[in-house]
Each structure stands twice: as structure tokens, then as C-alpha cells.
Structure 1
Amino acid sequence: MNIRSNNQTRINNNILVKEVRLIDQNDQMIGVISTEEALRMARNANLDLVEVSSNVKPPVCKILDYGKYSYQAKKNARKAKSKQKITLIKEMRFRPNIGVGDLQTKVKNIRKFLEDGDKVKVSIMFRGREITHKEVGENLGGKIIEQLADLGAPEHTPKMEGQHFVMIFAPLKKA
């Protein structure tokens, strides 16, 4: 019974060491025995010899049904992955001379992103001679920070990156 496995888990004849620490199908520790003897015991039980821990000397092997073992491992991996929260960085761009209504709409969208747990990169873009009036962009940045104070805060002080005044908002931790 030689089943192909993924390249991390060695089973049956792919176990190349001379001795293994064996655990039988009833989770009883057998001890250190030769690999041939462990393979023979697995074949007699119509099961597979699976290397469950390869980073110890001798490696730990277990007699079990490899199909069930791999299914359970994939199921556990999917469950762990589903519990992870992926934080996205959304971006909202502003111009220094933005209208009041447009500002409120964009801030409202930023609030939605922060409520969903995403980070938001706020860029105030300067074009041409607007760059000579950086204080207008800084004032706009101050208004944005003030309006979002209850949901998020800038991760670091706002800074100029070329023609853009940039700040990254992170959602506040919920108590």
C-alpha cells in the first residue's frame, strides 16, 4: 500500500530512516523500532505508516489511515485560515481645495472602512503651484483627523511624500 503524499509528509516506503519512534493505531507508544518492523505492523493493520514529526531523532511515526489524516489536516488548515482577519489598506484621495459636500462624502466612506476594520491611507494631492500652500493641505488633514477621532487615529504623524500629504489611519481597538 504505497500512497503518494505531499512533499512534507512521508509515508510508508518513503520513510528512509532505519529506526522510528512508533505510535500505534490506538495512540499507544510502542517505542523505538526498525522502520521495516513498523511498516510490517502497519500493513498487518491495513493502515499506513505516517511520519508525524520529522525534526526529532528518531522521527515519530504513527500507524493510521493516511486519507483521514490528510483530510483532517486540510480541514484544520481551512478552519485556521477562516479565523484570520486580513487587514486591507484602502486609499482615499483629496485635493486641497475640496468642497464641503465632497469632503463629508469622502470622510463618510473612510468611516465605513474603519468600522470594517480596514486601514485607510489618506492622500492630499497637490498639483502645480498648490504645493506652495502646504498649510491648506495641513488644515484639511487636521479637519479629517478631527472628524475621524472617534473611529481611528493616524498611525504616525502626517508627512509629505513628493506632491502628496499622506497619513494612514488605523481603526481604534474596541474595548
Structure 2
Amino acid sequence: MALIMNEKIKASEVELLDLEGNLIGELPTQKALQLAKEQQADLVCVNMMKSPPQCQLIARGKAKAQIKKADDNTPKKEKEIRLTPAIEQHDYDTKLKQCEKLLASGHPVSLVIKLSGKQGQIAKELLQQLIQDLKPYGTPASGIQLSGKQAAVTIMPK
């Protein structure tokens, strides 16, 4: 998430909130910056959608720490690993290592096998084997989903 603060705020006027979040009012940006320096704080834009943009005084250095903490708490995006039912051992090992790395870094992994014909049972067995091999890294979110064109399972990191 981009942080717009201090001199990077280009608006000529801002709606200013003090250190506690109380509304001060609309001020020219230069005056708001001067007020921030006097209070040893940063002027941080908290709402770009308003006109004029809403900015708040935040204790110096705290804004970046809050953003970093918020980014750390956001859930990681699910990654999809595609396989085929007729996979060779070397390819299986490569996909397995890829899944292990993703799960170790906190990403959920969606294992998807594209089906053609009557490969449903082979695909299900392959997914069960992958789930078994990935047990130290994560657990399945639900059972194996078997539809007409694909078999899939999502594994959540431990």
C-alpha cells in the first residue's frame, strides 16, 4: 500500500485531523505541513477520495510502522499449481518442492489437475499422494473437489 505523506501531498488544501484523530478543519497544505513540523509529526493522507483530501498528523515514524504491520497481517494470495494425471516422477518432485516453498512462506496452494476422459480416479489418487507428501507443510482446506473437467484441492499452510 502506497503511503502519501508530507511533501508528497500535492493538493493545495487538506482537511486536517490532529494526533488524536479530532477534526481541526480545512487548511492550506503548507500550513498543515508547518503544523506537523511544530508537533514533530508526519502529515499523512488517510483519504484521497475526499475533496479536499483528508490528512492526519501522526507521530513521526509511526505511519510507516503502521503500514508495515497492516501489510504483515493481510492474508497471502492463493497460488495455483497445475498438474496432469500422467505426471512423471521428476515433474512430480519439482511440483512438490514448489508447493513446499509456497506453503513454508505462508501462501495457500491450490492444486489443480485438468482432466480429459476417464482420468478422475488417477487424478484423485495423485492429489491424495500430494496431500500426504505435503502434510508437514499444510493441511487441506476441504476434501478433493472432482468435477467433470478438473480435480482440485486447496492446502492451507500450517
Normalising TM by the smaller chain, what interval?
0.5 to 0.7
Q: Give the aligned partner of residue 22 of structure 1.
A: none
Return the index of the structure with the highest Cα Rg: 1
Residue 145 of structure 1 and its aligned partner are, at CA, apart by 0.5
Q: Give the aligned partner of residue 101 of structure 1.
A: 90
TM-score (norm 1): 0.58
Question: Counterparts of 1:116 and 1:99 in 2: how far apart (Å)?
Answer: 26
Q: Give the aligned partner of residue 24 of structure 2.
A: 11
Tell me, yes or no, if the aligned pair for 2:110 and 2:154 is still in contact at 8 Å.
yes
**RMSD, matched Cα:** 2.9
Task: Specify which structure has the bigger relative contact order, considering alpha-carbon pairs within 8 angstroms and separated by 6 or more residues.
Answer: 2
Question: Counterparts of 2:78 and 2:89 in 1: how far apart (Å)?
Answer: 25
2:138 paired with 1:152: yes
Q: Give the aligned partner of residue 152 of structure 2.
A: 166
Distance 1:103 1:69, change over 3 A: closer
Q: Give the aligned partner of residue 70 of structure 1.
A: 43
Tell me, yes or no, if the aligned pair for 1:96 and 1:140 is still in contact at 8 Å.
yes
Name the % identity: 20
Q: Work out the number of aligned pairs and report it.
A: 120
One of 73, 91, 114 as aligned partner of 2:103: 114
Tell me, yes or no, if the aligned pair for 2:79 and 2:107 is still in contact at 8 Å.
yes
Residue 88 of structure 1 and its aligned partner are, at CA, apart by 1.9
Structure 2: which 5+ runs fail to align? 1-11, 45-56
Tell me, yes or no, if the aligned pair for 1:5 and 1:11 is still in contact at 8 Å.
no
Q: Give the aligned partner of residue 115 of structure 2.
A: 126
TM-score (norm 2): 0.64
Tell me, yes or no, if the aligned pair for 1:158 and 1:166 is still in contact at 8 Å.
yes
- 1:12-51 equivalent positions in 2, closer than 5 A: 12=25, 14=26
Structure 1: which 5+ runs fail to align? 16-46, 49-63
Residue 161 of structure 1 and its aligned partner are, at CA, apart by 4.2
Distance 1:69 1:10, change over 3 A: farther
Supply the AA of the counterpart residue of 2:14. S
